[in-house]
Amino acid sequence: MGFLTFLILPLLLLGISGIIYIYREVVRLMSRSALKNKVVVITDAISGLGKECSRVFHAAGARLVLCGKTWEKLEALHDALISVADPSVTFTPKLVLLDISEVDEIEAIGKEILDCYGCVDVLINNASMKIKGPAQSVTLELDKKIMDANYFGPITLIKAILPHMISRRTGQIVLVNNIQGKLGVPFRAAYAASKHAIQGFFDCLRAEVEEFDVFVSTVSPTFIRSYHVQPEPGNWEASIWKFFFRKLSYGVHPVEVAEEVLRTVSRRKQEVFMPIPSPKPPFMSEPSCRNYFSPWSPPV
Ligand SMILES: NC(=O)c1ccc[n+]([C@@H]2O[C@H](COP(=O)([O-])OP(=O)(O)OC[C@H]3O[C@@H](n4cnc5c(N)ncnc54)[C@H](OP(=O)(O)O)[C@@H]3O)[C@@H](O)[C@H]2O)c1
């Protein structure tokens, strides 16, 4: 009996993990095929997460409109995307300059975005500004700037694109939010307040536009791991720092969040919360050990 258990249990476990692996791959392929030819807009496509979202949606065959504040960075992203993709199954992305805090300009940019392909199937609101500091030290001017970037800017863009989705009776609006849109933490008052505001807007919008077959989703990570620029060869101080930083790094990898955004879109999930993953041995937390490949390390 003991011997049989010793023999059968590993086989059984291997079978279950094999089935889980195959299931996950099938779901991943189905998620990707659902995005083929869809017009997908990503605001701040050049951020750590924005770049990964651009990569997964581009590889899935979406027609991308990539928005960002800096033209050179957008062009670098564009070149990086087309250099690794198969041109027979992907589309060349279109680029649009967008500073999400310039609220007065956003309506016109919304029109420019719509003009790229004549419609928008998926709008991913990823752009956001961060700030950290004691509430009393943050000037009112800065508080307003954060509200512009994280609330008024995104809702102005949504208001520019939503009527077209409603008239076509199709579309999806996604918000990359933060868990701080639900919970407050010290020294993040302005940021968390703006994230609470946009979360409230999305919750109401979801109930409002469901009858028009427009889907509204929020993805709220806790902490996203940052990319760090590789030290110059021979820069020992930076190499040592990088070694220790790797050991200390935590948070969800941007590739993981981008894959989750893709799943959220293809499965039309409503609300997704991504807690900090439990600690793993360092080699397991390397993306290469988890079937992820990112062409941007260091970022473009
Ligand atoms: N990082 C995290 O731990 C974390 C956790 C939870 C949720 N999130 C959310 O994930 C999303 C992406 O964050 P991230 O960490 O990937 O960003 P990131 O890598 O820290 O980059 C910040 C980005 O914000 C851009 N930006 C700043 N002001 C802007 C403006 N006014 N208009 C347009 N773009 C502007 C910067 O563009 P330039 O480089 O051109 O200045 C840069 O690309 C955000 O919505 C954030 O709230 C992040």
Measured by CA distance, the residue closest to atom 22 of ligand 1 is: 47
**Which DSSP state fits 149?**
I
Q: Which domains does the chain have, with CATH numbers?
A: 30-227+253-280 (3.40.50.720)
CA-atom Rg of the chain in angstroms = 21
Residue 176 Cα: closest atom of ligand 1: 45
Contact 175 CB / ligand 1 (< 6 Å): no
Going from the Cα of 224 to the center of ligand 1, the distance in angstroms, rounded, reads 11
Strand 171-176, strand 122-125: pairing: parallel
Higher pLDDT, 24 or 162: 162
Q: For the ranges 20-24, 252-256, 266-270, 285-289, which has the lowest average pLDDT? A: 285-289
Cβ proximity of 271 and 69 under 8 Å? no
**Average pLDDT for residues 239-265, to the nearest whole number?**
76
Which of 125, 150, 224, 228 most suits a substitution to test ligand 1, by most atoms within 8 Å of the C-beta?
224
Q: Which of 191, 227, 250, 292 is catalytic?
A: 191
* Mean pLDDT value across the chain: 85
> Which percentage of the chain shows pLDDT scores above 70?
74
Residue 4 has pLDDT above 80, yes or no: no
Provide the 10 A C-beta neighbour count for residue 101: 20
Name all contacts of 231-234 with Cβ < 8 Å and 24+ positions apart. Answer: none
Of 236, 145, 150, whose CA–CA distance to 201 is shortest? 150
What are residue 122's DSSP bridge partners? 40, 172
Contact 176 CB / ligand 1 (< 6 Å): yes
Helices (H), 87-129: 103-117
Q: Quote the pLDDT of residue 7.
A: 65
Query: Does the annotation count 191 as an active-site position?
Result: yes
Contact 260 CB / ligand 1 (< 6 Å): no
Cβ proximity of 103 and 148 under 8 Å? yes
Q: Quote the pLDDT of residue 117.
A: 98
∠ CA 155-53-57, rounded to 5°: 105
How much is the pTM? 0.83
Phi, psi torsion values for 271, nearest 5 degrees: -130, 130
Q: What are the pLDDT digits (tens) for 34-90?
A: 899 999 999 999 999 999 999 999 999 999 999 999 999 999 999 999 999 899 999
- Grade residue 245 by pLDDT with cuts at 50, 70 and 90: low
- Grade residue 14 by pLDDT with cuts at 50, 70 and 90: low
Residue 179 Cα: closest atom of ligand 1: 6
**Average pLDDT for residues 16-36, to the nearest whole number?**
72
Provide the 10 A C-beta neighbour count for residue 114: 18
Of 106, 84, 85, 82, whose CA–CA distance to 96 is shortest? 106
Q: Quote the pLDDT of residue 113.
A: 98
Contact 70 CB / ligand 1 (< 6 Å): yes
